A and B are shown apart, each in its own frame.
Chain A
Amino acid sequence: MSESYPEPVSPLMGASSEGALTVREAGPTGMIALRGDLSDPAFTGPVAALAGCPLPTVWQARGGDGRTLLWMAPDELLLLLPYAEARQAAPRLQAELDGRAVHALVQDVSDMRVRLLLTGPQMREALARLTPVDMSPAMLAPGSLRRTRIAQTAAAIRVISEEEAEVLCFRSVADYAFRLLGGAARNAPDFGYF
């Protein structure tokens, strides 16, 4: 880091809500949006090198060393990495790809979203109240990711383990998403659907 900037403040300042399902804001996370041809090694090579892991397949997340690559769309990935690294890493990767005349868009979007971590045995049921995605373990095993909605707002849902998931929403609706997820667990007793 060549410069030191003020401390970043995430939209919910790390709020958490306890209950049968714990909802906790992950705090500032580095995120880099990557748009390019996912079948072109000239694009995927430098991306994989930065991520430290191979590319995820459709609807999957791949984790590396403190970095995670999320499949977002047929021509879009999202790299999660430590917040302090994104600001430098994004332009460096863009420059590298530009230098090789690879058509791609690399954008630091670390401040654009809120990351909510869900923990607890009710994780699948709570999310099934809010999203039309099939939350069954068979369809959404750990490592899976869906871009969908929760209630009335866009969201990406990533299942980490049987009792852990994370939800990415836009930062402006952080408060809405937090109340929504907290409420989805608190308002209703577990009925063991999944």
Chain B
Amino acid sequence: MSTRLAGGGRFLDRTRKIRFTFDGESMSAHPGDTLASALLANDRLLVGRSFKYHRPRGVVASGAEEPNALVGLGTGPRFEPNQRATTTELFDGLTAESQNRWPSLEQDVGAVNAALSRVLPAGFYYKTFLWPRAFWKHLYEPVIRRAAGLGKAPHPESRDADTYEHFHVHVDVLVIGGGVAGLQAAKVAAESGAQVLLIEQSAHWGGRAPVDGGTIDGVSTEEWVEKTLGALDALPNLRRIARCMGAAVQDHGYVLGYERLTDHAPGSIGPRHRLWRIRARQIVTATGAIERPLSFAGNDVPGVMLASAMRDYVVNYGVTPGQRVVLVTNNDDGYRTALVLAEAGVEVVRVLDARQMGGGALMVQVREKGIRVDPGRAIARVSGGKRVRTVHSCLADGTGNVLEDIPCDAVAMSGGWSPVVHLWSHCGGKLRWDEAGAFFRPDPARPPTGADGQAMVVPAGSANGELTLRNLLQDAVKAGKSAALKVGCEVGDIRVPLGQEVAESALMPLWIVPARATPDLRMKAFLDYQNDVKVSDLQLAAREGYESVEHAKRYTTLGMATDQGKLSNINGLAVLSDALGEPIPQVGTTTFRPPYTPISFGAITGEARGALFQPLRRTPMDAWHDANGAQWEPVGHWRRPYCYRRPGETTEMAVNREILATRRSLGLLDASTLGKIVVKGPDAGRFLDMLYTNMMSTLPLGKCRYGLMCNENGFLIDDGVVARLSEDSWLCHTTTGGAERIHAHMEDWLQCEWFDWRVYTANITEQYAQVAVVGPEARRLLEKLGGMDLSREVLPFMTFAEGTLGGFPARVYRISFSGELSYEVAVPANLGRAFWGKLLELGAEWDVTPYGTEALHVMRAEKGFIMIGDETDGTVIPQDLNLGWAISKKKEDFLGKRAQERVHMADPNRWKLVGLQTPDGGVLPTGALALAPGKNANGQRNTQGRVTSSYFSPTLGRGIAMALVLDGPQRIGEELTFTTDDYDAADEAKTTLTATIVSPVFYDAEGARNDV
């Protein structure tokens, strides 16, 4: 059984006890435990069920690489699935639940998948798409697929109770990893004068060294770590942060650090996670190494664990996963676990060393403890269901014939170490194969490079393949120096601390255990625990022709789980290379992508939630709208009133009332959101002539002109009224959503193409509050305000004037988007709310009615005016909208001119703008398609037009619509058939509507209402 030891546990506070629950069962542990060590202390070996076969699984590792021990943590608004027990610091009251089991972890019906494992091989999903079809619907999808999976997503209505934040910093040198190498590299860089940030993913400094032993400068590694931390803390230019993982290395030295501030103390003040967004001039990756499992049958039975993890549990947490342990290894380092176990009083019943001659000095030490070592032996298989019962040993290079049954309750396995090259590789660092260590290590000749083409990452210590203390320290000093030099520091003579430990003899690569294992053994030897990928799956993929490692990965799903194959990567590709008969370096690795381990969505989101989810743009009159029934409509980031609902009114009733009141008497529209861009300079006229399809340079002072803007492909991108302010300045109005885009469009052309033209632009959209005063009584209201002569003679249609109106500094444009007598009045935004109030107050005698965007839309449609985004969709040219009159024939050039002359654009058969009228006055659905006879080459029904805008017109008492129709303007009076929203080709009679083509100007075609 796994149990707490009487002694040891350097992370524990044994004087205190805390309680937690797992699947509802209350258990006890000490502060300092992880959830994994606490479960082991309580003899909970079985912690989850596997993804595909629902095999019982236990803790296999002690850190970020853990594939099995994933749990759901917390409850309600703090519930989170797929949390690693090995990196979850325990706190009093923690609640955890196991995943992927039903009805319980012990009695799981999903294990039926395991019984089916012979029919669930690699590429299972791809194969089932092909055959047999009926199985997909009736068996695979409902049964097998539901049974596969890990944690459940939180309830959709629950809201995260915690807060999160981002933090941006710029540093000279970022050191990722707080083990011996990271500490030493950071010290060298900081002592050379660089600004250094040192981050460590766990709560503890020193990495593995205090567990693995050895001495540095004659003192224990633990003592050296303490001393070095003291030295670092005395440096004002160094900051170190624990519980902060280097998650991603990206272009230009941009690194994401993921700090977990309160995961170990939920509910504390402050954010739960902090996402560090770091710009580093140099990055040192001292990310350590991860031990590899060995691929023998039953290597996933609870109780089988990485050898290094087992000694971590003993030394750091005072926990042993078993009382009778078998160690299986292909290298000397594994023996350290036997020594640690023996020291702690745990019986090591056997060491199986795959090497014919066994190991070196460490083996001798183990033998001296009286532990039997069998060289040339390995594990044929492990038996046991929910915990290890027996190890069946065999010859390491054999087929798996059992030589001996060894009763035991835990197995420590060591397959050698792989440097954590992830962060080196994220941004393009390449790897080279190390024959001696049988691992990939960073290739110093091909580093990830920064903007200057120089290396921006320097690996240090075991992350760089230097696995002995002595070499690791030398390498760390070298890395610290290199980083300091690259950021311009002067580096003096630096003494390299002397690392000493027991010398190790060579490792023997062993990718399949035993080397010639029979098929039935290979089918139980797991490579990727989290995705249930076995040795046999990789071999099958190779047989089926998957030669590329990237293809084999996707076919078998090796390394595609949430642990991204931290344990399975090298073993998997070694098996693949063996199956392909190609050397490992030729097969290569899959791509290492960020993040190193999953980070929370909360950390990515930061402050952007609730009211801060997105910026909301408000006009100066926003508060009035809000207090007066505004139904909001988003327009870009703005919110604009769609209509103002009065008590008892529906939205539809409000819209109709607003339109009728405006046409009958007087309406007000908050038009502040309209884009306003001032364009000034000696070349401004020439510039605007290029930007607009019509002529703006000839616009007389004091006048306005409606203009169209196209992109270089000829498509209509914006429209609006342009006013000539002075000899060399114009004010261009854009659509609400277009202001920033059009301003950028202008600056693009000015800065990149016509950089010698003397033009300045300024987007002054927000300088003004603008109100459209609309309706037959509009002039009377403005005259009542007083101060400006706005008579028909002085201010005719399409002119503007500046002055003081009712005490407000104002610019008054006589323009109309409704067909009514209409003025748009711009006042400084700080006076906007007061001006709006004044208009409401003085307009009361005419029943002044504020109206929203929907009334605006309906009134413009009644007049046949187009709307960017309704009548245009990025494929429409002005000619399609019968706007040829606004396209200058005289100008030599304008943006879009050449494109509009191309064959497809000049095609007379383009769909053109018309109006539509239904026989019964009904409203066509927006987007409805006009049917045409026959089918196209793809078997789809032919069409000959589409509805671009459709409304109920209260003015006319019936539906009106605008549409783009083939040869439309020549077909006035013709009847077309349109689809409805539930169009069904089999029942067209009931699912279509008819409408007659009419002029798009439905109301006051002669323009009499504005001509006053």
Are the CB atoms of A111 and B829 closer together than 8 Å? yes
B607 interface residue, CB < 8 Å from A?
Answer: yes
Are the CB atoms of B681 and A112 closer together than 8 Å? no
Distance in angstroms between the alpha carbons of A8 and B829 in the assembled complex: 8
B433 interface residue, CB < 8 Å from A?
Answer: no
Are the CB atoms of A183 and B809 closer together than 8 Å? no
B279 interface residue, CB < 8 Å from A?
Answer: yes
A7-B834, A134-B168 provided; 13 other pairs, C-beta below 8 A?
A33-B762, A33-B764, A36-B760, A105-B680, A128-B168, A130-B166, A132-B279, A152-B608, A176-B615, A179-B612, A180-B607, A184-B165, A187-B270
Question: Which residue of the partner chain, among B269, B618, B678, contacts A172 with CB atoms under 8 Å?
Answer: B618
B831 interface residue, CB < 8 Å from A?
Answer: yes
Are the CB atoms of B166 and A153 closer together than 8 Å? no
Size bracket of the A interface: 35 or more
Answer whether A193 and B239 are a contact pair too, CB < 8 Å, given A132-B277, A176-B615, A187-B165: yes
List chain A residues, Cβ under 8 A from B123: none
List chain A residues, Cβ under 8 A from B767: 107-112
Q: List 19 A-B contacts (CB under 8 A).
A: A6-B808, A8-B831, A10-B830, A103-B681, A103-B682, A103-B760, A107-B762, A111-B828, A112-B764, A134-B168, A151-B608, A151-B612, A151-B615, A170-B617, A171-B620, A172-B766, A176-B611, A179-B612, A189-B270
Question: Which residue of the partner chain, among B169, B270, B680, B766, contacts A193 with CB atoms under 8 Å?
Answer: B169
B833 interface residue, CB < 8 Å from A?
Answer: yes
Are the CB atoms of A105 and B681 closer together than 8 Å? yes
User: Within the complex, what minimum Cβ distance (angstroms) separates A39 from chain B?
Assistant: 15
List chain A residues, Cβ under 8 A from B765: 112
B440 interface residue, CB < 8 Å from A?
Answer: no
Answer whether A173 and B615 are a contact pair too, CB < 8 Å, given A5-B831, A111-B828, A187-B270: yes
Are the CB atoms of B165 and A136 closer together than 8 Å? no
List chain A residues, Cβ under 8 A from B270: 187-189
Contacting A at CB under 8 A, from B788-824, are 804, 807-809
Distance in angstroms between the alpha carbons of A6 and B808 in the assembled complex: 7
Answer whether A173 and B617 are a contact pair too, CB < 8 Å, given A9-B834, A103-B758: yes
User: Within the complex, what minimum Cβ distance (angstroms) separates A127 from chain B?
Assistant: 9
Q: How many residue pairs, one in A and one in B, have C-beta atoms under 8 Å apart?
A: 149
User: Within the complex, what minimum Cβ distance (angstroms) separates B826 from chain A?
Assistant: 11
Question: Which residue of the partner chain, among A9, A134, A152, contacts B615 with CB atoms under 8 Å?
Answer: A152
Are the CB atoms of B764 and A176 closer together than 8 Å? no
List chain B residues, Cβ under 8 A from A170: 617, 766
A53 interface residue, CB < 8 Å from B?
Answer: no
List chain B residues, Cβ under 8 A from A56: none
Distance in angstroms between the alpha carbons of A75 and B270 in the assembled complex: 42
List chain B residues, Cβ under 8 A from A179: 611-612
Are the CB atoms of A187 and B163 closer together than 8 Å? yes
Contacting B at CB under 8 A, from A120-145, are 125, 128-136, 139
User: Within the complex, what minimum Cβ distance (angstroms) separates B512 from chain A?
Assistant: 49
Distance in angstroms between the alpha carbons of A133 and B166 in the assembled complex: 13
A175 interface residue, CB < 8 Å from B?
Answer: yes
List chain B residues, Cβ under 8 A from A132: 168, 277, 279
Distance in angstroms between the alpha carbons of A139 and B611 in the assembled complex: 32
B167 interface residue, CB < 8 Å from A?
Answer: yes
Are the CB atoms of A175 and B616 closer together than 8 Å? yes
B271 interface residue, CB < 8 Å from A?
Answer: yes
Q: Which 9 A-B pairs have the closest CB atoms?
A: A8-B830, A172-B617, A111-B829, A105-B760, A134-B170, A35-B760, A112-B767, A176-B615, A112-B766
Are the CB atoms of A105 and B618 closer together than 8 Å? no
A40 interface residue, CB < 8 Å from B?
Answer: no
A87 interface residue, CB < 8 Å from B?
Answer: yes
Distance in angstroms between the alpha carbons of A67 and B165 in the assembled complex: 36
List chain A residues, Cβ under 8 A from B269: 189
B879 interface residue, CB < 8 Å from A?
Answer: no
List chain A residues, Cβ under 8 A from B729: 105
A104 interface residue, CB < 8 Å from B?
Answer: yes
Are the CB atoms of A130 and B615 closer together than 8 Å? no
Q: Mark B602-646, 1 if CB is under 8 A from A, else 0.
A: 000011100110111111100000000000000001100000000
**Can you name the residue of chain B whose Cβ is closest to the Cβ of A101?**
B682
B768 interface residue, CB < 8 Å from A?
Answer: yes
Are the CB atoms of A183 and B764 closer together than 8 Å? no
Distance in angstroms between the alpha carbons of A6 and B804 in the assembled complex: 11
Question: Which residue of the partner chain, among A6, A104, A174, A187, contacts B831 with CB atoms under 8 Å?
Answer: A6
Are the CB atoms of B616 and A176 closer together than 8 Å? yes
List chain B residues, Cβ under 8 A from A103: 681-682, 758, 760
Interface centre among B269, B760, B764 (most CB of A within 10 A): B760
Are the CB atoms of A35 and B762 closer together than 8 Å? yes
User: Within the complex, what minimum Cβ distance (angstroms) separates B987 from chain A?
Assistant: 48
Question: Which residue of the partner chain, among A107, A113, A152, contacts B678 with CB atoms under 8 Å?
Answer: A107
User: Within the complex, what minimum Cβ distance (angstroms) separates B405 from chain A?
Assistant: 57
User: Within the complex, what minimum Cβ distance (angstroms) separates A190 from chain B?
Assistant: 10
**Can you name the residue of chain B whose Cβ is closest to the Cβ of A109?**
B767
